[in-house]
Amino acid sequence: MTLEYMTGFGNDFETEALDGALPRGRNSPQRAPYGLYAEQLSGSPFTAPRSANERSWLYRIRPSVRHMGEYEPVEVKHWLSAPTTEGGGLPIGQRRWDPVAIPREPTGFVDGVRTISTAGDVVGQTGMSAHLYLVNRSSEDDYVINADGELMFLPQEGAIRLVTEMGVLEVEPGELAVIPRGMVFRFELIDGPVRGYLCENYGGKFTLPERGPIGANCMANARDFKYPVAYFEDVERPSEIHIKWCGRHYVTTIGHSPLDVVAWHGNYAPYKYDLRDYSPIGAILFDHPDPSIFTVLTSPSGEAGTANIDFVIFSDRWLVGEDTFRPPWYHRNIMSEFMGLIYGQYDAKEEGFLPGGMSLHNMMLPHGPDTDAFEKASRAELKPQKLEGTMAFMWETRLPQHLTDYAAGLETMQKNYIDCWKGLKKRFDGTIEGDWS
């Protein structure tokens, strides 16, 4: 499948799969072209300020009310929502996991989601959940609607195809995709089983962070975000629609594909972004900046400077600081940090943090470079160094992240993770040089 995209974060787009399908001069004509139905999809309240108002007009073969039947509740064992405060009976502490294997039994998207941590309250529309997806079967006539929040996909192994109401996104490791709250989509494999990370954002939608004194350029540039062109299916066969609503799961069956939008215009739409297009900003004389300098997208909380979620990446970049400990420093943080590694090596944890793995450092729990990384960075010759072939990320939230029973019981949990700091010596001996023997 050769795909086309439109570019520009948050732009107002218009696109049609059939010439003339998009009405001109009005949103809801008495009779829409091709006998289509006009329908508005709102991602914000009607009266939200113009700068924050999100809506798209869809022109579809059937209105969405015909894509719904009587919903029946279903149990989805591993896809959970906040709050989940049981924590698997574990005491608090720093946690890290090796990669989790993709199941051998046939597993589609919904059954392949594995919730690792939750924060906030899904009904109160605040916070997030961090998941893995482990999938070996494409969804052919199975569709998903998440009414609880927008979904950020980060493939780690294998590319995926997200066929949405508003068009098709193909996403590979090193890219992200975001599907807005309430949008219908189908999850497909492109070339074999897949594993990836999935953030479910219950709160304010992801947007680009303000740059402040950085100015107009760098970080994630709006022009690099890609939106799909209109695509539709006129398919008459039984289809199952799975909806997640207020933390519960329901299904219904209809007699046709719900992906029947022939044309659309607006600014509420799915998108993708190549993380390798991120233009990092860093210190060019001394000291390591706060990791917030690497924020790609942010979900605001309503409290200035305190995010519901910040999405941060640690990608290829130059290190040039003079008289500087160059890896991230040791710290305790009011924010809670879920990290994953898409490929390569993370400079603060050169051993034990593997691609496909993950870690959780909750609010006010100390963390930082392991012993080997500290020793290496403390003794390194400080010439310019380029970190290459690396892509780690972090979902950071102002709320504590609670582990699920599933995460607490994983065999891949590193029981001795805390030992990575065990070799950090006391170097204080009363002299200004300290003991570096």
Q: Annotated catalytic sites, by residue? A: 288
Q: What are the residues whose beta carbons fall under 8 Å from the beta carbon of 383, sequence distance 6 or more?
A: none
Nearest to residue 153, comparing CAs of 117, 97, 201, 120? Answer: 201
- Is 113 within 8 Å of 133 (Cβ atoms)? yes
Is 256 annotated in some ligand binding site?
Answer: no
Instruction: Please report how many Cα atoms fall inside a 13 Å half-sphere around the Cα of residue 58, on the Cβ side.
Output: 25
Strand partners, 240: 142, 253
Nearest to residue 368, comparing CAs of 383, 353, 379? Answer: 353
Nearest to residue 247, comparing CAs of 143, 124, 132, 130? Answer: 124
For residues 278 and 315, give the distance between their C-alpha atoms in angstroms, rounded to a whole number: 8
Please count the other Cβ atoms lying within 10 Å of the Cβ belonging to residue 323. 8
For residues 82 and 75, give the distance between their C-alpha atoms in angstroms, rounded to a whole number: 16
Is 331 annotated in some ligand binding site?
Answer: yes
- Is 170 within 8 Å of 228 (Cβ atoms)? no
Is 346 annotated in some ligand binding site?
Answer: yes
For residues 296 and 176, give the distance between their C-alpha atoms in angstroms, rounded to a whole number: 11
Annotated binding site for homogentisate: 346, 367
**Binding site, annotated residues for Fe cation:** 331, 337
Residues of each annotated binding site: 331, 337, 346, 367
